[in-house]
């Protein structure tokens, strides 16, 4: 391979590594905590739904 091709490939690899290193962190996908049940919440939204069944 010629030196121009090697230099081009090295530049592409360096640019790829720099782009991956500066990527933002993954967002936090955990849901927010459930609102506590109080009289105002029940008046506005009705009774809360039952808790989800167990996984197993």
DSSP letter string over 20-48?
A: HHTPPPPPP-PPPPPPPP-HHHHHHH-SP
The tokens describing 37, both together, are 């049940």
Half-sphere exposure of 4 (CA within 13 A, CB side): 0
pLDDT beyond 80 at 37: no
Tell me, what's the pLDDT at 41? 65
* CB of 4 closer than 8 Å to CB of 10: no
pLDDT beyond 80 at 21: no
């Amino acid at each position: 391979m010629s030196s121009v091709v090697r230099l081009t490939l090295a530049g592409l690899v360096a640019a790829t590594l720099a782009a991956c290193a500066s990527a933002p962190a993954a967002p936090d996908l955990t849901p927010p905590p459930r609102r506590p049940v109080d009289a105002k919440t029940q008046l506005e939204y009705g009774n809360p739904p039952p808790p989800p069944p167990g996984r197993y």
